Amino acid sequence: MTPSEPGNYYAVPELAAAYDADTEARQDLPFYLALAAELGARRVADIGSGTGLLCSLLAGQGYEVTGVEPEETMLSLADTQPHADAVT
């Protein structure tokens, strides 16, 4: 890593903001939404929830969602998701 490279990609607001830019290509989102439905889940924990996109999608479908994310920059983005108020 050179001195100009960030030590933590997710702590750089401009980089973190681009994290969800290409959600159409993310095959994990439909997979996890389908898995929650298939399992008949009522509550879901997303460990390493990043920008909270999956949490928001799950909460929007009525799941009780807890997201765990250690990076403050990502948490600030998660707070802007459409269903952030329904996510713990």
DSSP output for 64-78: EEEEE---HHHHHHH
Q: Residue 78, Cα to own-chain centre: how many angstroms?
A: 7
User: What is the residue extent of each domain of the chain?
Assistant: 45-88
29, burial (CB in 10 Å: exposed 0-12, middle 13-18, buried 19+): middle
Report the predicted TM-score, pTM, of the whole model to 2 decimal places. 0.84
Q: What are phi and psi of 71, to 5 degrees?
A: -90, 115
DSSP state of 10: G
d(CA 88, CA 84): 8
- pLDDT by 10s per residue, the chain, length 88: 455 555 777 788 888 878 887 666 788 999 999 999 999 999 999 999 999 999 999 999 999 999 999 999 999 999 999 999 999 9
Residue-level pLDDT at 5: 57
Residue-level pLDDT at 1: 47
Residue-level pLDDT at 9: 73
